[in-house]
Structure 1
Amino acid sequence: MTVTEEIHLQGPVTHPVVELAGLTRTFPGPPDVHALTGANLVVNPGDYLSIIGPSGSGKSTLLHILGLLDRPTSGEYLLDGLPTGKASESDRSALRGGRIGFVFQSFHLLPNRTVLDNVLLATLYSGVPRGERTKRAKVALERVGLGHRMTFTPSTLSGGERQRVAIARAVVASPKLLLADEPTGNLDTTNSAGIMDLFDELHRDGLTLIVITHDLAVSSRASRRVRITDGELTEVA
């Protein structure tokens, strides 16, 4: 049975959104680089987790594995109860597209398309008719406070507004998990606070968030904190 088939057969049982067991990632050298060394982590539905660590600590490697953009060298990664390690690339793409939303430091918006079009692109392969996709995209933009900017292009928006568009794009498909990589890294203090306030709202609405950052102020907003050092994860009290 493929992961895609398991998705359709999955019942109402609630699983952790993320389960990592003994996860490693080694990049061959010489010398070999051990980016992750036996990482263990459980993230339950509705958790708001920050993963904090300095440059070179393994944050980016962990993000790529959590987002199904890379595979671990060893260990197990279950996403919403489904094993991902041996899944085909098409199954991994289906999981990534249907269950994970991404927010990056750089906004990755198409500069010559409207704000609404940028959000609509995230629904392109959903199988939902365009009229319904447009409705969902508008709702997502209203949710992040940009209902009045739908016809604008990204170049006419502030940095904080562009990140809000990126967040709307990430949540329009109602993912199980939102992954944010240094989401305030390109923003000033005021806009950073606004984005973190929005994450707080999404968390209160029940969305599961993992924010990867080096910023203690950003990390402190989460209800759970994990530190990554030399590829090892440690829960912070």
Structure 2
Amino acid sequence: MAAVEPAVIELRGLTRSFPGTPPVEALRSVDLTISSGEYLSVIGPSGSGKSTLLHILGLLDRPTSGDYLFDGIATGTASDSARAALRGGRIGFVFQSFHLLPHRTVLDNVLLATLYSGVPRAERRARALASLERVGMGHRLDFLPTVLSGGERQRVAIARAVIASPHVLLADEPTGNLDSATSGGVLDLFDELHRDGLTLVVITHDAAVSSRAQRRVRIVDGTLVEVG
């Protein structure tokens, strides 16, 4: 019998509502468990609650009610500083818009993610180089993001996200600004990271992107449904 991997993320009856008349329920009694090393996609249309879920998973927002355990830690009662430490040390983020500094080199953009790690610069540089090599961007170290293709910029963003060896990589519409051919290359890279043991959560509205995941859930009107 195969060993069951420990849960990295556990959501129990999680809700998120926003003030209004009536209040807006962005998430409704969400239950979700994500195991270590799992590749999960969350698919749903615009306005379905995907972004709200991502912000809570990434410890950028707190639920209105329910529990969120990350690596067994109850995040709802954790202090802001403890949540920031978890977010900075165990969660990597990849966004649709890359968020690279245009006037800093590829290497500098990745190095900036380790600026407050307390690690000596020489070691940080070695990690950045290894991270860029891992995503196939070791030959673009001194280039500025403005001269890179969209796919190359996303690879740099992924290198920045994984440099600290996070427990979970959260990707928000990671191919949203890319053409289909370039998207395929980024998704191939996600496959490689998954094979290396990284836990991946990809938020998307694209069925082709979602189909690459090991497991898929759909969110509609704030409610999560397992689809395979």
TM bin (shorter chain): over 0.9
C-alpha deviation, 1:187, in angstroms: 0.2
Q: Look up the SS of the partner of 1:102 in the other structure.
A: strand
TM-score (norm 1): 0.93
Partner Cα distance (1:57, 1:143) in 2: 34
One-letter amino acid matched to 1:202: L
Percent sequence identity is 75
Count of residues paired in the alignment:
224
Output one character per residue of 1:88-120: Cα deviation in whole Å (capped at 9) or x when no partner. Answer: 111110000000000000000000000000000
Output one character per residue of 1:4-36: Cα deviation in whole Å (capped at 9) or x when no partner. Answer: xxxxxxxxxx74110000000000102210000
Output one character per residue of 1:208-233: Cα deviation in whole Å (capped at 9) or x when no partner. Answer: 00000000000000000000011111
C-alpha deviation, 1:199, in angstroms: 0.1
Partner Cα distance (1:68, 1:160) in 2: 27
Confirm or deny that 1:104 pairs with 2:56.
no
Structure 1 unpaired stretches of 5+: 1-13
Partner Cα distance (1:110, 1:87) in 2: 31
Query: 1:158-173 maps to which residues of 2 (within 5 A)?
Result: 158-173=149-164
One-letter amino acid matched to 2:51: S
C-alpha deviation, 1:158, in angstroms: 0.3
Select 1:142's aligned residue among 126, 133, 137.
133
One-letter amino acid matched to 1:107: F
Structure 2 unpaired stretches of 5+: none
Confirm or deny that 1:210 pairs with 2:198.
no
Partner Cα distance (2:99, 2:188) in 1: 21
Partner Cα distance (2:8, 2:116) in 1: 23
TM-score (norm 2): 0.97
| Alpha-carbon RMSD | 0.7
Query: 1:23-38 maps to which residues of 2 (within 5 A)?
Result: 23-38=14-29
Query: 1:26-105 maps to which residues of 2 (within 5 A)?
Result: 26-105=17-96
Aligned residue for 2:213? 222
One-letter amino acid matched to 2:54: L
Verify the 8 A CA contact 1:51 1:212 in the aligned structure 2.
Answer: yes
Select 1:197's aligned residue among 188, 195, 201.
188
Verify the 8 A CA contact 1:52 1:212 in the aligned structure 2.
Answer: yes
Aligned residue for 1:155? 146
Verify the 8 A CA contact 1:15 1:81 in the aligned structure 2.
Answer: no
Select 2:225's aligned residue among 223, 226, 234.
234
C-alpha deviation, 1:126, in angstroms: 1.2
